[in-house]
Amino acid sequence: MAQYKTPNVYVQEKSIFPPSVAEVATAIPAFIGRTEISGELKNIPQRITSMVEYAALFGGPGLEAFNFFAEVKGAIPHNAELDLGDTKTKALVDYVESIEMKTDKQGEDKDETLKPVADHLLYPMLEHFFANGGGACHVVSIGSYVDPDINDAAKEKKAFSEALGEIAKVDEVTLLVLSDAIRLGASDYYELCQSAMNQCRINQDRFTIIDTLDSTDPFTRTEGTLRTDMGVMRNALTQDLIYGAAYYPYLEVNAPRYYNEDQVIISITGTMQGKEDGDDDIDLSGDVIMGDHVGTPMYALLKTELNNNKMVLPPAAAMAGIYARVDGTRGVWKAPANVGVSGVLGPVQTITNSEQADMNVDADSGKSVNAIRAFTGKGTLVWGARTLAGNDNEWRYVPVRRLFNMVEESVQKATAFAVFEPNVPLTWLKLRTMISSYLENLWKQGALFGATADQAFFVNVGLGQTMTEDDINNGIMNIEIGMAAVRPAEFIVLTFSHKSISA
């Protein structure tokens, strides 16, 4: 009791409210990949909230190089007065009427099955994340676009692994996205995803969004690759499946790819008629650079063609944004499904109901893959909400896993004040009241199932309930918490019958 010696009026404040649980953020992803600028920021997670902040730290997108084929239709008459010196192809560009990209359909680059996908995805991934409702996130650069290690698969994989290790130290992160690593190939990419899910289990506060690699030839649309792609992923991922969700297929984004005009090459073929009858035609073929011909008709054709060459991205970045959007508008307990994907023309593959049946429920491995589908009049929708543990009765659904992640971490941090407090009934009461109040609030918001709070959750703590005398003597306080998490209505069955007409 305070000792009062000077006559005066003394004011005291008495706390009547119990301690409360502060809810942690639920959709803070970490993106790992290569950036234009790296330097001192290499392998150091940076928190950003916009593309402006990203550009200030890491620069712009990776600029691609493209090859085009142009043919001058018909022989150019000699009186066209073309300069037949070094500038002959510069004059020839004015006669180009159509341009065609050099791609697989010309028989080139047969090994590059992901040729619609850019070499460096981090920048466009972030753009797509923000376009779909994303907010704060963390970015880790593993190096610049021109780093010589980029061509060494072993070193590149190690760089991703080291960056993943740095992200493990960032407490705020709740989602992991590794899309920029798809260029390493299925084996290395899925091994990194497995490491990410292992990290989720150890940290118990995060979740991995996985791209199921799409090997479909973008021009021939080879049949049967969907089942093949599912099989590769299912064989590769074997552990900690409750901490990850896979999505398929890739998305065609409503934005052109980034390119360097000085690395856009046009191979032109054409001839000019000889001066006299019987003279051989003069071959005017040659390669020209787009950036050297600003303002010409050919340049305009190239701009149109390049603008029509839309970007293709794996879906994980968009899903991270959708997770954030749904969490903010409905809550983490709402499935991030039956919601639209923003900024896309559509998925690169059309998935049918029968095909999704195999994706959603796999009889052999139980590893579910969530489909992204285009519906007439509705646009592109996320049409699945299962974790990779698709046959697990407890952790089958993404919102259930993420709800428990949120509650577990929120309660863990809120109860830290009780460490070294007396392990007595008064302390137990404070903790039980605090946790019950938090869970009751979640129940009122619709996160927990039950007609009453008692049906929705329980919090037990006390001697003879959750602890023995030996526990107390050893400084252990056990608190048991149970929650009836709501689950998504994945299958809605409508039963119709004829109604008999009574007399």
The string of DSSP letters for 74-139 reads: SPBPGGG----STTHHHHHGGG---EEE-SGGGT--TT-TTTTS-S--HHHHHHHHHHTT---EEE
Measured distance CA(89)–CA(105) in Å, rounded: 25
| pLDDT value of position 102 | 67
pLDDT, one tens digit per residue, over 407-425 is 999 999 999 999 999 999 9
φ/ψ bin of 175: left (φ > 0), alpha (ψ from -120 to 50), beta (otherwise):
beta
| pLDDT value of position 110 | 37
What is the spatial order of strands in the sheet that 259-269 belongs to? 99-101, 64-71, 259-269, 286-289
Task: With beta carbons less than 8 A apart as the criterion, state whether 248 and 229 touch.
Answer: yes
| pLDDT value of position 478 | 95
| pLDDT value of position 296 | 82
| pLDDT value of position 10 | 85
What φ, ψ does residue 23 adopt, rounded to 5°? -75, 135
| pLDDT value of position 107 | 38
Task: With beta carbons less than 8 A apart as the criterion, state whether 255 and 125 touch.
Answer: no
Average pLDDT, the chain: 88
Enumerate domains of the chain plus CATH numbers.
Answer: 29-59+118-256+311-398 (3.40.50.11780), 64-109+263-308 (no CATH), 419-503 (no CATH)
Measured distance CA(335)–CA(326) in Å, rounded: 8
| Residue ranges, the chain, pLDDT below 50 | 85-86, 104-114, 219
pLDDT, one tens digit per residue, over 73-114 is 766 766 665 555 445 666 667 777 788 876 543 334 433 333
Give the DSSP letter string of 173-201: --EEE-GGGGGG-HHHHHHHHHHHHHHHH
